Amino acid sequence: MNLFKKLQKKSKILELYSVSEGNLIPITEVNDDVFSQKMLGDGFAVQPKNSNVYSPIEGEVTSIFPTKHAIGLKSSTGVEILVHIGIDTVELSGEPFEVFVREGDKVDNKTLLATVNLKMLEEKNKQSDILVIITNDSYEKLNINDYGQMKENIFIGNLILK
């Protein structure tokens, strides 16, 4: 495993994984201009079929928003990722979310970051898209293998790093 990590660093690739079971879509198809116009960065989203939210990368938890709707991650290669659960869900003051990690925790694609009460989001007329946004410029290219229906925590693509 350590050899694989060394090769990964030398090849300057960061693997990306699906954060939930559901429909994987380009960030440009999210129904929110801030995200779809990549104002916070490029990325992808999953329209979830269940409540589980997993880490899209191997890295460390750098921040958890007080409203529990967003979790910041950082890879050992310096890539910063924001996992944002739902659209306009900050207004819900954390009510539909349960977070299972803390700042400083090491994570990988099998780490359950949080769960979200999808029924509550629907009742509050909030979209449930789980967004994965690369928030810094430590990469050259985002590659997603294929969009469409995905299982949770499976390999979906990578970032070519600078």
DSSP 8-state secondary structure symbol assigned to residue 41: -
Token readout for 162 is 């600078």
DSSP string, 76-128: TTS-EEEEEESSSGGGGTTTTEEE---TT-EE-TT-EEEEE-HHHHHHTT---
Closest by Cα among 58, 54, 103 to 76? 58
Contact by Cβ (8 Å): 70, 43? no
Residue from 69, 74, 84, 126 carrying the catalytic annotation: 84
Q: Cβ–Cβ contacts within 10 Å for residue 158, how many?
A: 21
Closest CA to 85 of 63, 99, 70: 70
Q: Is 84 a catalytic residue?
A: yes
Active-site residue set: 84
